[in-house]
Structure 1
């Protein structure tokens, strides 16, 4: 998505930055690890293919991606409501410094797809056809690449900040999705609405299951053929304040400044 092209999310525990070309070499290094390939159900790619993916994800209207980095110092009392005026008043995140390769720890993504009424275990009390909205489901995917960075709360901090960003920017996210996929156009007055979040987790990954359980996700169905469980968070009544609480502390949406990047 282009929505977050110039926006970073800074909290006391984690920094999220838009996925840029200068992140690709480190990302490619992570994805050469067979264990990560298995965990993410990914095929090995060449470095050139990874650069092509990065550009594709930036322009895709159904994918929202951040790179997860070590936190930068947060000034006391600097929590922001995410408005553009407050964003301009915050010190920017300098690309290539705060998100240098040795500060990168993983990535986090949102994949938007049309809602299917028959998703296992979901609350299917949908409105009558004449009143139905164009619902979408958002699949959340997070990877903390290095074992040394796991078990430190970075995953929970990243997911909490990510969900808070989605909650505060939901209309813009769904509008970009609608424009890119042709939904809500050609005279249609209905706009897409977020129906649910979902995650797919290896059944052996008890840490991730506990993380999402703590955020209100519940397991749907049994372990599938790939050894995964699906967990979901129903949003039929909208995105409440519990979704994306500022659990990380010091949440700020700030400008992502590329002016000092070496070319």
Structure 2
């Protein structure tokens, strides 16, 4: 997605930056891990394929991606309006967070949505803290809360870019996020607990055919996210300039 191409997000817990070429080598190494492949339902790619995927994620209007990094050593001063290259150097990378957008297949049958004016969209979230040494330290919660804060703050812009790219949608229609969705393996108790603590609820009492639970959160606004951030001690949200291809 082009929307976040020049935006980094700094909080007390994590730094989110656009997925750039300088991140690909480290990301490629992560994705060689069989556990990560299984958790993300991914197949290993060649390095050239990984670079092509990075460009796709930066440009495709149905994907919003950030690389999660260790937080800035010092909170950015009010005089600082962008980050430097060392702030998101490969050794500071810890994971990623993604939003994949799709039109709601049930939109035509939903009486709550005025089809003449708006199109309902579902956003599927993926979150990864790649290395075991960084897991269980609050980085996942920090990355997810920071990401949700950004999505809530820019929902209209995110949906506009997505809908303008779809050939089947009237370009004059506005979008509305029906819900945020996530699919988590039934044995991943830590991730299930994380998303449930942030207001996501299981769609069904049992896992699907693939052994996954789908969880959804309906309704997302900045005030609700800020309240959650305060509950879990995430502070100093700030959007900064970013430079990187």
SS of aligned partner of 1:152: coil
Q: How does 1:48-63 map to 2 (within 5 A)?
A: 48-63=48-63
Q: CA deviation at 1:184?
A: 3.5
Matched, 1:223 2:194: no
Equivalent pair of 1:20/1:54 in contact (CA under 8 Å): yes
Q: CA deviation at 1:103?
A: 0.6
Give unmatched runs, 5+ long, in structure 2.
none
Distance change >3 Å, CA 184–CA 130, structure 1 → 2:
closer
Distance change >3 Å, CA 168–CA 130, structure 1 → 2:
closer
SS of aligned partner of 2:118: coil
Question: Which TM-score applies when normalising by structure 2?
Answer: 0.90
Q: Quote the Cα distance in structure 1 between the aligned partners of 2:72 and 2:51.
A: 27
Moved more, 46-55 or 217-226: 217-226
- The equivalent of 1:256 in structure 2 is 242
Question: Which TM-score applies when normalising by structure 1?
Answer: 0.84
Q: Quote the Cα distance in structure 2 between the aligned partners of 1:246 and 1:211.
A: 13
Q: Quote the Cα distance in structure 2 between the aligned partners of 1:224 and 1:160.
A: 26
Q: CA deviation at 1:179?
A: 1.4
Q: Quote the Cα distance in structure 2 between the aligned partners of 1:72 and 1:42.
A: 30
Q: Quote the Cα distance in structure 2 between the aligned partners of 1:36 and 1:205.
A: 12
Query: Superposition RMSD on alpha carbons, in Å?
Result: 2.2
- The equivalent of 1:106 in structure 2 is 95
- The equivalent of 2:135 in structure 1 is 150
- The equivalent of 1:243 in structure 2 is 225
Q: Quote the Cα distance in structure 2 between the aligned partners of 1:137 and 1:240.
A: 18
Q: How many residues align?
A: 238
